[in-house]
Amino acid sequence: MAVSSPRDKYFGVWLIFFMLGLGTLLPWNFFMTATMYFTSRLKDSSLVDSHANQTEASGEHRSLLEAKFNNVMTLCAMLPLLLCTCLNSFLHSLIPQRLRVMGSLLIIMFVFIATAVLVKVPLEPFPFFSITMAKIVIINSFGAVLQGSLFGMAGLLPSSYTTPIMSGQGLAGTFAAFAMICAIASGSELHDAAFGYFITACFVIFLSILSYILLPKLKFFQFHQERNRKQRPEENSLNLMNRGEAADEDIKQNVSMINIFKKIWLLALLVCFTFTVTIGTFPAITADTRSSLADGRSWEQFFIPVCCFLLFNLCDWAGRSLTAVCTWPRKDSMVLPVSVVCRLIFVPLFMLCNVQPRQHLPIFFHHDGWFIFFMVLFAFSNGYLASLCMCFGPKNVLPHEAETAGAIMAFFLSLGLALGAALSFVLRALV
């Protein structure tokens, strides 16, 4: 006889998943927002006592580090993200959920505390560059484990509980973009703004840790966790009766992983394709767009922070959040894959806007209005379609397979980010 699920009192579990989603991406968004601070440290020789015999070559070395910072940062972010998300998909059953989530949050918080401290510590450019890249690798490695674990946990709950994770991640980008605009408007020094970013990130991670500590105490979450635990022993006992040896059980688990992927392969590829198109275009192409209406320095200064970053993150967040009340088209409808593939049209549309500098393509959409219109549709469709796929994935499998399905979906999300980052170099060169 089926036992009815208790009510999520005061939407406590929903709000905790939202907070954990925010804590997953807000630190990295603030890290990217502070890119100008990092590059300024790579050319700022006034922070250290210079030796009298310091050569001009060392100055060129610092310039090279500054020029290569964004490319190396992308590489150090995407490769660990992809690798660790893949490992989490296979190893999540061997490492306790609590250790994966709590350990990842604590390590990321420690890295941001160290980053905030280093704002006040003078360092030569090369050591600063090396330490920064090491921190990027650590943040994205443990961020991948955290993200995969969260989607796996959400897979055990009703499908609507993937939405708060996606919505929290969307708000993270909005929060960071708004902070960047406030810093520009206030005329804050780069170092002061960066220190504020890092301290805020530490505070949000701390709140995420408190939220996760509270989560197992809520009856709604306890019920779904317990139901999953009861199903696993039943499955294992059947395996042991049919297969007399432990080695055969391992083979069964591997086959199960393949079977789970067979059930969700289309949704996994759709979420991968969605983020490949998005990251291939944003921000590599969109952030280089120039305003055609700029009659003064102020609008030129705010055009990209407002019309590119803030607008994208607001509309993306709206799209992700909408799946809490609307899940059309259905997972078996052809409208979903067609809608995802149709987003390819945004690539040439943005390339034909006023992107500068450019060498190959003409400018077809001069007016800022076109860019803003494309950005609203581009960002909203990204948030809505990606969130829809992530919600449907774990519900295409049996309840005890949902955590693994969630981890697989998180891997393909990360794969889309990595492929998009690689594609962005090609698309930008074509403009």
Q: Where are the domains of the chain?
A: 11-45+60-430
For the question of whether the overall pTM of this predicted structure is more than 0.85, the answer is no
End-to-end CA distance of the chain: 62
Asked if residue 119 lies in contact with residue 367, where contact means CB atoms within 8 angstroms, the answer is no
Rounded to whole angstroms, how far apart are CA atoms 227 and 97?
16
- Identify the residue whose tokens are 């330490």: 131
pLDDT value of residue 425 = 86
Mean pLDDT within 140-153: 91
pLDDT value of residue 231 = 65
Amino acid at 72: V
Mean pLDDT across the chain, nearest whole number?
A: 85
Q: What is the pLDDT of residues 207-236, one digit of tens each?
A: 999 999 999 999 999 888 887 777 655 444
Just give the CATH number of 11-45+60-430: 1.20.1250.20
Q: What is the pLDDT of residues 97-128, one digit of tens each?
A: 899 999 999 999 999 999 999 999 999 988 99
pLDDT value of residue 63 = 57
pLDDT value of residue 62 = 45
Exposure b/e, 23-58, CB count within 10 A at least 16 = b = bbbbbbbbbbbbeebbbbbbebeeeeeeeeeeeeee
Inform me whether the pLDDT recorded for 246 exceeds 50.
no
Q: What is the DSSP string of 182-216?
A: HHHHHT--HHHHHHHHHHHHHHHHHHHHHHHHHGG
**CA dihedral sign of residues 236, 238, 239, 243:** positive
Asked if residue 418 lies in contact with residue 81, where contact means CB atoms within 8 angstroms, the answer is yes
Confidence of residue 377 (pLDDT cuts 50, 70, 90): very high
Inform me whether the pLDDT recorded for 166 exceeds 50.
yes
pLDDT value of residue 115 = 94
Mean pLDDT within 358-366: 93
Asked if residue 320 lies in contact with residue 165, where contact means CB atoms within 8 angstroms, the answer is no
Mean pLDDT within 39-55: 56
Least confident of 145-159, 218-232, 275-289, 348-362: 218-232
* The token pair that represents 279 in the structure block: 């990251």
Rounded to whole angstroms, how far apart are CA atoms 168 and 153?
15
365 bridge partner residues: 353
Inform me whether the pLDDT recorded for 336 exceeds 60.
yes
Asked if residue 274 lies in contact with residue 386, where contact means CB atoms within 8 angstroms, the answer is yes
Least confident of 211-220, 257-266, 285-294, 411-420: 285-294
pLDDT value of residue 76 = 87
Helix (H) / strand (E) element for 51: namely none
Rounded to whole angstroms, how far apart are CA atoms 394 and 111?
32
Mapped onto helix, strand or coil, the DSSP state of residue 167 is helix
Rounded to whole angstroms, how far apart are CA atoms 83 and 257?
18
18: left (phi over 0), alpha (psi -120 to 50) or beta: alpha
pLDDT value of residue 267 = 96
Inform me whether the pLDDT recorded for 51 exceeds 50.
no
